[in-house]
Amino acid sequence: MTFEQLQVQQWINKERWMSSDHECDWYGVECVDIPIPNTPLILDNTGRQNDNTDFTVEERMIIQIDLPENNIRGSIPREIGYLPTVTRLGLWNNGLVGTIPTTLGRMKQLVKLYLDITQDL
């Protein structure tokens, strides 16, 4: 995702943003870990999973982006709409301009969208 248009350098808290760290380690981003079994799932004769199955975290999914009052400037990048697992997007009290990208309609899991008190949005 490209965030250059949000002028990250001017943010109040930009900890780890645009770094080589995983996006789930960036300030304001919350993720969930998706466990993937290391060994095949073995079901007993009742259909229950064998307790000896070992899991590892194979994938992390972004579920929340909260960056309120962070001096974010510019327009909301359309690429943010390509994060289908995000359930909450909070960008209130920033200096956002422009229109809300239509790609936000792709965010089928989005339940809460906070954009209040922004400029010309």
CATH number for the domain that contains residue 23: 3.80.10.10
SS3 of residue 4 by DSSP: helix
Q: Which two tokens stand for residue 53?
A: 């199955």
The residue behind tokens 């301009």 is 97
Report DSSP state, residue 21.
Answer: S
pTM for this entry? 0.73
Residue 109 maps to a domain: yes
> pLDDT truncated to tens, each residue of the chain (121 aa)?
455 666 777 888 888 887 888 899 999 999 998 876 666 555 556 655 555 556 565 678 999 999 999 988 888 889 999 999 999 999 999 888 888 999 999 999 999 999 875 555 4
Residue 50 maps to a domain: no
CB of 30 within 8 A of CB of 54?
Answer: no
Residue 82 maps to a domain: yes
Parent domain of 83: 4-32+61-114
Count how many domains the chain has: 1
